[in-house]
Structure 1
């Protein structure tokens, strides 16, 4: 990968690229939220829509998207937050695309192995910039893509802000508003306030302070305990992404080296009557629908289960040319309190058991499937539950038993908030 120093720039291809802000997820260090700002010739955004981040995941032009986080497979492993951009289709009025991030719960100076890397869709290296001088900053501009002589270049910026994402965005002409409260679902009851102590209530006394020289008794450890087994995150399997292109109905056989488990499928097609993806059995016969989209322009995500002992085989169909990307599930967006999106998406719910409140603004069928791993880690099968199956503009709630994949399908914008 071409490593560039701070302030340097490099020519990049005018094509679809992925950008990752990466760090070492050591316990006690802050989390990172990456964002992109689309700027005009004056270095300012044209409106709120020109800020793409976790709460506004796609630019209206469809040329810049926030993909979400790649969580580490084990404490201390590498984590990253991802952007996707199609430089060939960026609007002519946009002169620069700035890659920035904010630190949640600390500063960038606390982070190890902080860098930004640019790759093509197949994972091929384009540019790499390591950050070595961060201190008290809570927001950072890592780099920017900018137009030059009919092409695009990437500059390593490395400029920090102590005022967080809001301060950074304000410098570029945008105001970041606080997120709205969660949407209460049917049957929601406002929690009662804590009881007021009645007459005669006595505040419990504080425990006595030990006198000087006091030595606390050493508790007995009892018999030796069995070592604790650490569960493997079923969403962290990693492999090299691949890209497949076609037109009409085609059968795609994926890389035989894909590990058994879930894979994220991302497809794009434009001006097609319908776009579908089906899984195939061992004989290449269509088996189950993974995606059915009837919008003119489709940018959708779904999930496939890579079988054990044979390659993942898919049947893809669209009236016009399509592009299919097979990605590790670490590229999926993750949430534990609220999330929003559009049409078809695949997200990871990380929270405990609770109730999911959904709102869908559309006209056609709106469904939510939850996929959970089997009790055994071999992924010979998966558990799948239909949580929601409604039509049109709906506000509906569904219980969720715990973490899992949510495969969401609709024809318009949707929101999901967690009620515990």
Structure 2
């Protein structure tokens, strides 16, 4: 692994890479939240979607994703927050991808063993940069991927901010609105507003965002000897479920709506584990991490210009067992669910004519149903509402199916129950009853909508 000093850069392959900001768990230290900003040639984002973080986990282009964070372990153990990016798929307008992080309720001076590591999907190290000497900073730019002469480089930056993610985002062109004023209590009488004659006094000074080149005093990295073992070799544990946004975001920073809170008897998001990414071509068997706990796991797959893309679960002998996904579109970006056996690792059979990328993620990354949801083709939705009737519509030509996965009625015999709610073809409008919380596995070849009947 190439260890970089501040300001140094090295070429990196234009392929799928994983970036981990890592640190050591210390009692009382704040959490570290990693983000990526996609910048144009002027060093600015093109819109709010160019900020990828834990409340906006995927860029619309599909080229950058926030994979999640490992759960905190014992004091002194390693933890990490992960990004996945594919430089070859980066839009032409994107000149730089900045890797940054922020903390809430403290400063980076309380965080120990802070560094950023870049690896390929096999875990082979690409670069490593240690951050030292942090004090009161609440946000950091760790490094950046930058286009250079038809390729890409990674440069170690190590620049600190005292204004958190909001200040960092503002410097790159994202408008962060202040939080609304608190609602006054009963009996509140507003103070009188002084009146001014026309032209009296000087106009208020406009507030300008700080240019990128003039942040607070930069923090210099300190190389601390041989870098630790590469990211994929360390037992970082499991990422937590998604968290609500903190006080710095506004309408300018997208926050998903989560609606109804699931009752304690149904908590599909409670199982967490370290995300993993697998790549292949044609028909291959994928042996997933044995550390994934029994229960449901979210599968995301991408393939382009393939006649068909399928995912099957395998039995204990590696033989294909059940179809989890059957997609016949030219370009596939789909989600489905797999059931991890209690007595062995999850094994999958993936088949596509062209190269494919498969991500195995905790269900915390799945979409949540909140009275109404829309999607396209194949997706998985967490439904944690009451019994009722769902109205579906589908605009396509191929079969449209909806399966509901629920906790087993007889756990001693089954790991889950499945029910086929919808099985139609083409343009359809259909209703189906749901008995309560579960997972909705939706499959079609066009846009669809689902809403709870009022």
Q: Does 1:245 align with 2:245?
A: no
Sort the Cα spacing of 1:361 and 1:184 in 2 relative to 1 into closer, same or farther, 3 A: farther
Q: Which runs of 5+ in 1 are unaligned?
A: 186-232
Partner secondary structure for residue 142 of structure 2: strand
Q: Residue 167 of structure 1 aligns with which residue? A: 167
Contact 2:298 2:337 in 1 (8 A): yes
Q: Does 1:102 align with 2:86?
A: no
| 1:269 aligns with one of 286, 303, 307 | 303
State how 1:11-50 maps to structure 2 within 5 Å: 11-50=11-50
Partner secondary structure for residue 7 of structure 2: coil
Q: Does 1:130 align with 2:165?
A: no
* Residues in 2 aligned to 1:28 and 1:256: alpha-carbon distance in whole angstroms: 31
Contact 2:103 2:138 in 1 (8 A): yes
Count of aligned positions: 354
Q: Does 1:152 align with 2:156?
A: no
Q: Does 1:288 align with 2:322?
A: yes
Contact 1:54 1:68 in 2 (8 A): yes
* Residues in 1 aligned to 2:169 and 2:391: alpha-carbon distance in whole angstroms: 28
* Residues in 2 aligned to 1:413 and 1:34: alpha-carbon distance in whole angstroms: 33
State how 1:168-207 maps to structure 2 within 5 Å: 168-176=168-176, 177-178=250-251, 182=257
Contact 2:392 2:449 in 1 (8 A): yes
Which stretch shows the higher mean deviation, 57-66 or 119-128? Answer: 57-66
Contact 2:369 2:382 in 1 (8 A): no
Contact 1:278 1:289 in 2 (8 A): yes
Q: Which runs of 5+ in 2 are unaligned?
A: 177-249, 261-268
Q: How much has 1:97 moved relative to structure 2?
A: 0.7
Q: How much has 1:154 moved relative to structure 2?
A: 0.6
Q: Residue 54 of structure 2 aligns with which residue? A: 54
* Residues in 2 aligned to 1:77 and 1:373: alpha-carbon distance in whole angstroms: 36
Contact 1:69 1:334 in 2 (8 A): no
Q: How much has 1:175 moved relative to structure 2?
A: 1.7
Q: Residue 142 of structure 1 aligns with which residue? A: 142
Sort the Cα spacing of 1:126 and 1:326 in 2 relative to 1 into closer, same or farther, 3 A: same
Q: How much has 1:142 moved relative to structure 2?
A: 0.9
Q: Residue 113 of structure 1 aligns with which residue? A: 113
Q: How much has 1:184 moved relative to structure 2?
A: 5.2
Q: Residue 65 of structure 2 aligns with which residue? A: 65
Q: How much has 1:29 moved relative to structure 2?
A: 2.1
Partner secondary structure for residue 115 of structure 2: strand
Q: Residue 210 of structure 1 aligns with which residue? A: none
Q: How much has 1:409 moved relative to structure 2?
A: 6.9
Contact 1:22 1:114 in 2 (8 A): yes
Superimposed CA distance per residue, residues 156-192 of structure 1 (whole angstroms, 9 cap, x where no aligned partner): 111111222121111111224345684656xxxxxxx
Sort the Cα spacing of 1:40 and 1:324 in 2 relative to 1 into closer, same or farther, 3 A: closer
Superimposed CA distance per residue, residues 284-310 of structure 1 (whole angstroms, 9 cap, x where no aligned partner): 543223334455432345454555776
| 1:298 aligns with one of 319, 325, 332 | 332
Report the aligned-residue RMSD: 4.7
* Residues in 2 aligned to 1:334 and 1:14: alpha-carbon distance in whole angstroms: 28
TM-score (norm 1): 0.66
TM-score (norm 2): 0.62
Q: How much has 1:279 moved relative to structure 2?
A: 0.6
State how 1:242-391 maps to structure 2 within 5 Å: 243-247=278-282, 250-252=283-285, 254=287, 261=294, 265-272=299-306, 274-293=308-327, 295-305=329-339, 307=341, 312-318=346-352, 320-325=353-358, 329=361, 333=365, 382-383=415-416
Sort the Cα spacing of 1:253 and 1:142 in 2 relative to 1 into closer, same or farther, 3 A: closer
Q: Residue 79 of structure 1 aligns with which residue? A: 79
Sort the Cα spacing of 1:74 and 1:264 in 2 relative to 1 into closer, same or farther, 3 A: farther
* Residues in 2 aligned to 1:66 and 1:256: alpha-carbon distance in whole angstroms: 19
Partner secondary structure for residue 145 of structure 1: strand
Superimposed CA distance per residue, residues 241-271 of structure 1 (whole angstroms, 9 cap, x where no aligned partner): 5734123xx2515279777746664422013
* Residues in 1 aligned to 2:168 and 2:386: alpha-carbon distance in whole angstroms: 35
Contact 1:333 1:348 in 2 (8 A): no
